[in-house]
Amino acid sequence: MASSSSSSSCSSSSEKKITLKSSDGEALNVEKNVALEFEPAKGFLEDNSEEADDEAIVVPLPNVSAAVLSELIPYVKQRLELSAKPVQKKLIKAFDDQFTRHLSDDKLGELMLAANYLGVNYLLDVLCDVTADRIKNKSVEYVREFLGIQNDFTPEEEAELRAQCPWAFEGVDQD
Amino acid sequence: MEDEEKINSERSTKRFKSKTMKNNSFIAPINNLDDGCLMHVFSFLSPIPDRYNTALVCHRWNYLACHPRLWLRVDQSVKDLSEPGVFPDLKTAVSVARFVMSVEVSFLMKQLSSVLEVRTGRYNKSSHKMNNCDVLLVALFQDLVIYFKVELFYTKPLPLDLVIQKYEVGSSKMTGIISQATKFAMQYFVFSNKICYFYTKPQK
């Protein structure tokens, strides 16, 4: 999916720059093929395709901050370059791992929301997988503490739910 | 300027909230995710133990982690076949899910011959209620784990050894496994309906 959109028009469009405007009003210049990976930007560019000069187009992205965008853009750009070549899946995976390894939990959440809004599905999959990995095989208490989630069950409700499936809470990792 | 500093310091304390905050009004960053996103995260978790554990974190997670959409569903009474993840019979469901399993269905049917675990809830003695519960059938074979979830009512107290039970299935077909296991469970259970959910993942 990513490779088909990029490889056909790679040489000509990668020269062209598009301006993205973030939620906090910052303008970021990106290559057109990168911008086309973002669904809202793609739609906007299609609607304004009669505009002769691409440079003049400013695409508003009111749900993404500049900080998040400036992390997303290099990722998408490199990912596009990778998938344009006939590289092994291993390399892409290694690249994804490298990108996600050092992300804080807050950043992970912000990126996930942005990837969801921008329709970058390959990134969304990777991020969701990483988030799931961080709570895999953990106890209920650990997950609540780790993510700072308020327990809104009453003790009775929780006891009842636990009694329904006592085997589900054995053998999880020690915190 | 002062306000800005205040916001910044608030932000930095927020980062360490997970260990310290016990404030009612506090909303965890992960709960800013919309339902679709959060369910996508849960879809990467296996039913035991993770989905049952995440279900107990809070009400919203309970709803999402137990949502039928996280399972492939086999429902004979289903009319609207366009609904995603719902299939009229097990064979169709398996062949659609085949790319997940990367095993041919016919091959699968022959090879399915290993240990099956039945996991159920406990009868609530104090209230003598007819309880609705899931029976989770865990089948292991080759390099795959398949979880079948059947919704049941249970009416009699269960012997403790049924709560986690393993037994040999022999060389029955996949549909046979469900009927054998459920026949076994039928001594203690009355079916609420015949909807069966299943989920597969590669065995590690």
Q: Which chain A positions have a beta carbon within 8 Å of B58's beta carbon?
A: 144, 149-153
Query: B184 is written with which tokens?
Result: 């076994």
Helix (H, G, I), strand (E, B) or coil at A2: helix
Give 3-state DSSP helix, strand, coil % of chain A, rounded to 5.
65, 5, 30
Question: For position A45, what pLDDT does the model report?
Answer: 84
Q: Which chain A positions have a beta carbon within 8 Å of B21's beta carbon?
A: 148
The nearest CA of chain A is from the CA of B35 a distance in Å of: 11
Judged by CB atoms closer than 8 Å, whether chains meet at A136 and B45 is answered as yes
Query: What pLDDT digit, counting tens, does each position of B130-174 carry?
Result: 344 555 656 554 455 566 665 555 555 444 444 444 444 333 444
Query: A44 is written with which tokens?
Result: 């906007």
The nearest CA of chain A is from the CA of B95 a distance in Å of: 23
User: How many Cβ pairs closer than 8 A exist between chain A and B?
Assistant: 132
Burial class (CB in 10 A: 0-12, 13-18, 19+), A173: exposed
Q: Which of A59-68, B69-78, B133-142, B187-196 has the highest mean pLDDT?
A: A59-68
Q: How confident is the model at residue B199 (pLDDT cuts 50, 70, 90)?
A: low
- B17 or A77: which leads in pLDDT: A77
Residue burial A97-118, b: 16+ Cβ < 10 Å; e: rest: eebbeebebbbbbbbbbbbbbb
Helix (H, G, I), strand (E, B) or coil at B127: coil
Question: For position B147, what pLDDT does the model report?
Answer: 65
Which residues between 7 and 46 in chain A have a beta carbon less than 8 angstroms from any beta carbon of chain B?
A: none
- For residue B200, the surrounding DSSP H or E stretch is strand B189-202
Using CB atoms, which residue from B17, B33, B44 is nearest to A112?
B33
Q: The whole model's pTM is what?
A: 0.65
Query: What pLDDT digit, counting tens, does each position of B86-120 carry?
Result: 666 655 655 555 444 333 333 333 333 334 445 55
Using CB atoms, which residue from B17, B45, B133 is nearest to A148?
B17
Q: Is ipTM over 0.95?
A: no
> To probe the interface with A, which of B22, B38, B58, B163 has the most A CB atoms within 10 Å?
B58
User: CB of A140 within 8 Å of any CB in chain B?
Assistant: yes
Q: Tell me the average pLDDT of chain B.
A: 55
User: CB of A175 within 8 Å of any CB in chain B?
Assistant: no
Question: For position A123, what pLDDT does the model report?
Answer: 92
- B204 or A18: which leads in pLDDT: A18
User: CB of A156 within 8 Å of any CB in chain B?
Assistant: no
**Domains of chain A, start order:** 2-135 (3.30.710.10), 140-168 (no CATH)
User: CB of A173 within 8 Å of any CB in chain B?
Assistant: no
Name the residue of chain B whose CA is nearest to A106's CA.
B29
Question: For position B53, what pLDDT does the model report?
Answer: 83
Report the candidate in B39, B46, B165, B136 with the shortest Cα–Cα distance to residue A138: B46
